[in-house]
């Protein structure tokens, strides 16, 4: 009840007449009459927006407030992750302790993966380490009757993606530092990530069994980076371990429980259901399979959820051992089936009452994403010269990716040799490999341009670049790359050709048809396939074909396009070596208007 005695209800951004009536325990006919008196003609299943629903509710004696957790674009308060803000809105009397969520970070080769394996196989209470049948990016261990959830982040981009969206999902960070190697560049980067996320850090000083281990030197380096060990009168727990010999693992788990007792790790199992996407992929015969971590509420099969731009009704749920689950409470990692497309790592997922509500949220998000993309000015090479002349910019920031180190070095040296009297070239990052999401994140934060030589930008990177307004330029001749940069600095660059992804899909089966050749049975997972567009096939991250469709059929009929969710038969011009599981990307090339 509000102060004036009226009742208060929470409403989403859009709601059907039927659902609004249910929330107010009123007749839908009564709602329709009020809408008609206000000039709105609507049937019982029609969606109305928040403002219209508020007018109806007001006339029936209700006050309304927005279900803020369902806003299309989640907003952060400073560095407080959005999901923590949602838990803060729960009734404090209904909050209970939940298992701490832990992620392991550190420098490459310092033993992160070995430590995770040691923890996974030292589940002292259940003795079921050997029973783990699958890897889903998150798992739980038990110590002294208490659960600990681990996010298995080494080697994939989940943690980076979560941090970049302010949705970092860990309560505690384990920083792995090798006692024989000390603090390295990636160690410092991991410390920065953890501090930015405002989560406590426990240091696992690994490889103490090595004859060249130097614990005191490592502790000195940690102190210099703001992590003073507790035995040096600091507040950082440093636990000596040997992942290889499985020594100190139980001490590390006890340290996690000790730290978790000193911080507020709570949730409401009966409250609003939300959590985070850890990872997701398409599997043959299963469709989209996503690993989720529940933060609040209880997730069950049949629930309708939205994660980023994906939605669906949960068909089945499994735990990290592959066993079917009937429900998953706070801090539980769970693998689900039923989404219509692959969500991104780091996406917040929310439960909705009806599929209609979920679709409305997806449509609203898509519209806002298009509007934002149209409003974001691209940091293109073509615009650089104009900015320099107007005094807005004096520096060209670049992220360089090349196929091999032998290509990278001459590119960097050639760019550094260009005349930089008017514009300074700043190479923020130069590395081998395809242009990835993390490269685009860096470009977004620093207003840089991504340049690739003999490499490609993966689909996720291109989607992010389009949304964030980051320019990607790809070359296969070094002098053209340096020539374009030089022309941009002089204001002479021609408009670039922009690649726009129009659809993605996956090969589900392969067929051989006489007089026709090999045909791929495909499903479109987003956007649409176009007969006259370009097509690219990738297998395990490697591009195996770029060219055109030779044929596109839907139910034996030749078609010009196939939309999201439909299956089709596709032939590729002069290429037959495709296989089940290959990822398909359909794209068009357009001349930049800038």
pLDDT value at residue 505: 92
**Average pLDDT value for residue range 365-381:** 61
Q: Which of 208, 238, 264 is the last residue before a domain boundary? A: 264
Residue 126 and residue 185 in one domain = yes
Let me know if residue 18 belongs to a domain: yes
Q: What is the CATH number of the domain that holds 473?
A: 3.40.50.10050
Closest CA to 202 of 239, 251, 171: 239
| Contact predicate 331/149, CB 8 Å | yes
Residue 422 and residue 550 in one domain = no
Residue 139 and residue 251 in one domain = yes
Q: What is the CATH number of the domain that holds 576?
A: 2.40.30.10
**Domain assignment of residue 462, given as a range:** 381-494
* 78 pLDDT more than 50: no
| pLDDT tens sequence across 272-322 | 898 888 878 877 778 888 888 999 999 999 999 998 888 999 999 988 888
Name the pLDDT band for 390 (thresholds 50, 70, 90). low
401 strand-pairing partners: 431, 452
Contacts of 295 (CB under 8 A, 6+ apart): 83, 86, 87, 169, 267, 274, 275, 276, 330, 331
Residue 192 and residue 231 in one domain = yes
Name the pLDDT band for 7 (thresholds 50, 70, 90). confident
Q: Which of 494, 511, 546 is the last residue before a domain boundary? A: 494
**DSSP letter string over 328-352?**
B-TT-EEEEEEESSPPPTT-EEEEE
Residue 345 and residue 485 in one domain = no
This prediction's pTM: 0.54
**Average pLDDT value for residue range 360-388:** 64
Query: Would you say the C-alpha torsion 519, 524, 528, 533 has a positive or negative sign?
Result: negative
**Distance, CA of 14 to CA of 365 (rounded, Å):** 12
| pLDDT tens sequence across 407-429 | 787 888 888 888 777 677 888 88
Of the chain, the percentage scoring pLDDT greater than 70 comes to 81
**Distance, CA of 531 to CA of 525 (rounded, Å):** 16
Q: Which of 470, 494, 518 is the last residue before a domain boundary? A: 494
Name the pLDDT band for 192 (thresholds 50, 70, 90). confident
Pairing mode, strands 304-307 and 310-318: antiparallel
Name the pLDDT band for 540 (thresholds 50, 70, 90). confident
Name the pLDDT band for 512 (thresholds 50, 70, 90). confident
Residue 137 and residue 256 in one domain = yes
Let me know if residue 81 belongs to a domain: no
Let me know if residue 84 belongs to a domain: no
Let me know if residue 80 belongs to a domain: no
E strand intervals along 340-409: 348-352, 395-402
Name the pLDDT band for 389 (thresholds 50, 70, 90). low
232: left (phi over 0), alpha (psi -120 to 50) or beta: alpha
The count of domains in the chain is 5
* 72 pLDDT more than 70: no
| pLDDT tens sequence across 205-246 | 988 888 888 889 989 988 888 888 888 888 889 999 988 888
pLDDT value at residue 128: 37
pLDDT value at residue 203: 92
Q: Which of 353-367, 442-456, 542-556 has the highest mean pLDDT?
A: 542-556
Q: Which has more pLDDT, 403 or 372? A: 403
| pLDDT tens sequence across 435-494 | 888 788 777 777 788 899 988 888 788 888 887 778 888 888 888 888 888 877 765 455
Residue 117 and residue 230 in one domain = yes
């Amino acid at each position: 009840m509000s102060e004036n005695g009226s009742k208060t209800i929470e409403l989403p951004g859009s709601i059907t007449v039927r659902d609004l009536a249910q929330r107010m325990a009123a007749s839908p006919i009564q709602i329709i009459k009020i809408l008609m008196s206000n000039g709105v003609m609507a049937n019982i299943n029609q969606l109305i927006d928040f403002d219209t629903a508020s007018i109806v509710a007001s006339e029936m004696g209700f006050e309304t407030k927005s279900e803020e957790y369902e806003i299309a674009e989640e907003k952060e308060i400073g560095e407080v992750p959005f999901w923590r803000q949602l838990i803060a809105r729960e009734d404090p009397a209904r909050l209970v302790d939940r298992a701490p969520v832990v992620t392991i970070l550190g420098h490459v080769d310092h033993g992160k993966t070995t430590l995770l394996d040691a923890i996974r196989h030292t589940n002292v209470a259940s003795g079921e380490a050997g029973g783990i049948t699958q890897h889903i990016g998150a798992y739980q261990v038990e110590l002294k009757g208490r659960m600990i959830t681990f996010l298995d982040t080494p080697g994939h981009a989940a943690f980076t993606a979560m941090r970049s969206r302010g949705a970092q999902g860990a309560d505690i960070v384990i920083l792995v530092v090798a006692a024989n190697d000390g603090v390295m560049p990636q160690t410092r980067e991991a410390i920065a990530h953890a501090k930015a996320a405002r989560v406590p850090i426990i240091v696992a000083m690994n490889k103490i069994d090595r004859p060249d281990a130097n614990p005191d030197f490592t502790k000195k380096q940690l102190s210099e980076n703001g992590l003073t060990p507790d035995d040096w009168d600091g507040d950082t727990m440093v636990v000596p371990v040997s992942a290889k010999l499985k020594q100190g693992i139980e001490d590390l788990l006890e340290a996690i429980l000790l730290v978790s007792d000193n911080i507020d790790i709570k949730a409401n199992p009966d409250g609003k259901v939300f959590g985070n996407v850890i990872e997701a992929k398409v599997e043959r015969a299963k469709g989209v399979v996503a690993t989720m971590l529940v933060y609040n509420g209880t997730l069950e099969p049949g629930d309708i959820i939205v994660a980023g731009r994906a939605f669906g009704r949960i068909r089945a749920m499994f735990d990290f051992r592959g066993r079917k689950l009937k429900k998953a409470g706070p801090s539980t990692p769970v693998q689900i089936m039923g989404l219509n497309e692959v969500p991104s790592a780091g996406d917040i997922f929310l439960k909705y009452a009806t599929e209609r509500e979920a679709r409305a949220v997806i449509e609203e998000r898509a519209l806002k994403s298009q509007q934002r993309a149209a409003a974001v000015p691209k940091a293109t090479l073509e615009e650089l010269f104009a900015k320099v002349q107007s005094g807005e910019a004096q520096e060209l920031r670049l992220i360089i990716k090349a196929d091999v180190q032998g290509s990278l070095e001459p590119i960097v040296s050639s760019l550094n040799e260009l005349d930089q009297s008017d514009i300074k070239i700043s190479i923020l990052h130069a590395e081998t490999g395809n242009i990835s999401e993390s490269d685009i994140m860096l470009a977004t934060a620093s207003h840089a341009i991504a340049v690739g030589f003999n490499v490609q930008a993966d689909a996720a990177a291109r989607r992010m670049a389009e949304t964030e307004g980051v320019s990607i330029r790809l070359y296969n001749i070094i002098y053209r790359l340096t020539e374009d940069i030089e022309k941009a600095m002089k204001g002479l660059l021609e408009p670039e050709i922009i690649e726009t992804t129009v659809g993605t899909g996956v090969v589900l089966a392969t067929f051989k048809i006489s007089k026709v050749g090999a045909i791929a049975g495909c499903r479109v997972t987003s956007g649409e396939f176009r007969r006259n567009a370009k097509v690219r096939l990738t297998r395990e991250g490697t591009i195996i074909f770029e060219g055109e469709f030779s044929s596109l059929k839907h139910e034996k009929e030749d078609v010009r396009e196939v939309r999201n969710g439909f299956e089709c038969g596709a032939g590729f011009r002069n290429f037959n070596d495709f296989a089940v599981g290959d990822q398909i990307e359909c794209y068009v090339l357009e001349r930049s208007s800038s």
